[in-house]
């Protein structure tokens, strides 16, 4: 039986959180549709898609980024829109018979072009910046407003979106992210012999909070704790200044021999297996928090910022602690609680890994996402949201 053609569009070709979710989505949808993925250029994501037998096309496309608020960025946005118009229309006509799946809300031109071609569209929203100015949030809502259906990756994301576009709730659903775990869960070391191993994984930008991880390490060393921090990740082009500042702050604090910058790793499981405690210290809002779930899947105690989708992603895990974002003392306290009660946190992390594997399974995600896309040809139903998982009793400082 011939599978209907579905066009999938995404604003980048790297392998960070949103890119990995695009890969997961494309694989899930390829079971029911003939999927073609449109990307603005080549990159490691292209290789991963093609290795799974998924067609990839490149197409200039306007992507809403912070740089668009400046004159040069706005000019580039307009130029990309003009250059990409004809190629986008061609892709929609050839590969969008079943519709177009727009993987983020930063691609507002695609739902509009889909309408011009008589195609239906679904916008999958992974962004949720509740602290952003309301006018900016209204602008970012253009893509889902123009789309026929909306999928949000968390209840928090949907709530933030519908604060500025309340009518979207009737055609929106929540499909929580799939996060694949390691091939084998490696238990944390039985005893904390030698330095405490802290790990940060993520983009190097102020919103992700690696500076908080460095500050927490500095506070621990002031308290006499022998700790080390490994930083896995790199900057998005244009943020090189922050990487320089971060390294300077490490040197100024006398932590040069305690912090290791490893750059971007496509496979983070060896890094997680070598860690004792994983830090997810995002200062800005996070729509969900795949990195937090990866830490739980790897059976590592987790300290996470107590806000936005991070709270939702880490809810119910006994080895996770949520603390105020940016408070280095609170982060040091949370890490100290892990070291003081290491056997309990280690065992809780092992139990949590099994729960996370069920909760974040790709099979559950694939079924829910494919059903949402298949519904593009059906009447709009009442909104569907997943229930919040029941939470076991947790100790002091655990996620509530």
pLDDT, tens only, 41-75: 999 999 999 999 999 999 998 887 655 556 665 67
The strand pairing partners of 124, in sequence order, are 151
Residue 395 falls within a domain, yes or no? no
pLDDT for position 134: 85
3-state DSSP assignment of residue 196? strand
Residues 252 and 155 in one domain: no
Instruction: Provide CB contacts within 8 A for 112, sequence distance 6+.
Output: 146
| 398 pLDDT more than 50 | no
**Whole-model pTM above 0.75?**
yes
Residues 208 and 106 in one domain: no
pLDDT category at 129 given cuts 50, 70, 90 is confident
Residue 130 falls within a domain, yes or no? yes
Residue 144 falls within a domain, yes or no? yes
**Token pair belonging to 270:** 């060896």
Angle (CA) 155 159 165, round 5°:
140
How many CB atoms are located within 10 Å of the residue 57 CB? 15
Residues 43 and 141 in one domain: yes
Residues 210 and 345 in one domain: yes
Residue 394 falls within a domain, yes or no? no
| 166 pLDDT more than 80 | yes
pLDDT for position 394: 35
Residues 365 and 287 in one domain: no
Of residues 395 and 169, more confidence is placed in: 169
pLDDT for position 380: 38
Q: Return the sign of the alpha-carbon dihedral for residues 225, 231, 237, 243.
A: positive
Name the strands in the sheet holding 302-305, side by side, starting at the edge strand that comes first in the sequence: 259-263, 227-232, 196-201, 277-280, 302-305, 320-323
The most confident of the ranges 5-19, 135-149, 192-206 is 192-206
What average pLDDT does the structure give for the chain?
Answer: 90
Instruction: Identify the CATH number of the domain in which residue 282 sits.
Output: 3.40.50.2000
pLDDT tens digits, 202-252: 999 999 999 999 999 999 999 999 999 999 999 988 889 999 999 999 999
Residue 161 falls within a domain, yes or no? yes
pLDDT for position 77: 66
| 397 pLDDT more than 70 | no
pLDDT tens digits, 352-386: 999 999 999 999 999 999 999 998 864 433 433 43
Residues 318 and 233 in one domain: yes
Residues 84 and 211 in one domain: no
What's the structural domain count of the chain?
2
Residues 224 and 258 in one domain: yes
How far is CA 395 from each of CA 297, 368, 390, rounded to the nearest angstrom?
Answer: 20, 33, 16
Residue 186 falls within a domain, yes or no? no
| 391 pLDDT more than 80 | no
Residues 124 and 24 in one domain: yes
Residues of the domain holding 65: 5-178+361-377
3-state DSSP assignment of residue 174? strand
Residues 139 and 282 in one domain: no
pLDDT for position 360: 94
Least trusted range by pLDDT, from 80-84, 135-139, 248-252, 342-346: 80-84
Residue 384 falls within a domain, yes or no? no
Of residues 379 and 316, more confidence is placed in: 316
């Amino acid at each position: 039986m011939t599978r209907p053609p579905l066009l999938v569009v995404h604003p980048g070709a790297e392998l960070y959180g949103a890119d990995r979710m695009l890969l997961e989505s494309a694989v899930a949808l390829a079971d029911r549709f003939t999927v073609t993925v449109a990307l603005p250029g080549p990159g490691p994501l292209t290789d991963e898609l093609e290795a799974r037998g998924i067609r990839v096309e490149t197409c200039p496309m306007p992507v809403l980024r912070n740089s668009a608020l400046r004159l040069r960025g706005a000019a580039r946005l307009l130029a990309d829109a003009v250059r990409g118009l004809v190629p986008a229309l061609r892709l929609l006509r050839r590969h969008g018979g079943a519709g177009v799946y727009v993987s983020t809300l930063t691609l507002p031109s695609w739902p509009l072009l889909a309408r011009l071609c008589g195609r239906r569209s679904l916008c999958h929203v992974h962004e949720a910046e509740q602290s952003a100015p309301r006018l900016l949030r209204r602008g970012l809502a253009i893509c889902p407003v123009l789309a026929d259906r909306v999928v949000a990756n968390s209840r928090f994301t949907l709530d933030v979106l519908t604060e500025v576009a309340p009518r979207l709730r009737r055609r929106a659903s929540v499909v929580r992210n799939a996060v694949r775990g390691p091939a084998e869960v490696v238990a944390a070391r039985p005893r904390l012999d030698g330095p405490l191993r802290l790990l940060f994984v993520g983009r190097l930008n102020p919103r992700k909070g690696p500076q908080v991880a460095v500050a927490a390490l500095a506070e621990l060393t002031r308290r006499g704790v022998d700790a080390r921090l490994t930083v896995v990740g790199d900057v998005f082009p244009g943020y090189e200044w922050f990487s320089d500042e971060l390294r300077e702050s490490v040197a100024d604090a006398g932590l040069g021999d305690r912090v290791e910058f490893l750059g971007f790793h496509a496979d983070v499981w060896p890094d997680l297996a070598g860690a004792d405690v994983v830090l997810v210290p995002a200062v800005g809002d996070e729509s969900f928090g795949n990195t937090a779930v990866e830490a739980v899947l790897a059976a590592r105690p987790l300290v996470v910022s107590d806000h936005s989708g991070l709270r939702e992603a880490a809810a119910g895990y006994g080895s996770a602690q949520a603390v105020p974002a940016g408070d280095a003392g609170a982060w040091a306290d949370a890490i100290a609680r892990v070291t003081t009660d290491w056997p309990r946190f280690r065992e809780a992390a092992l139990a949590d890994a099994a729960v996370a594997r069920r909760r974040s399974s790709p099979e559950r995600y694939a079924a829910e996402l494919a059903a949402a896309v298949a519904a593009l040809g059906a009447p709009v139903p009442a909104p569907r949201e997943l229930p919040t998982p029941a939470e076991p009793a947790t100790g002091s400082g655990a996620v509530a």
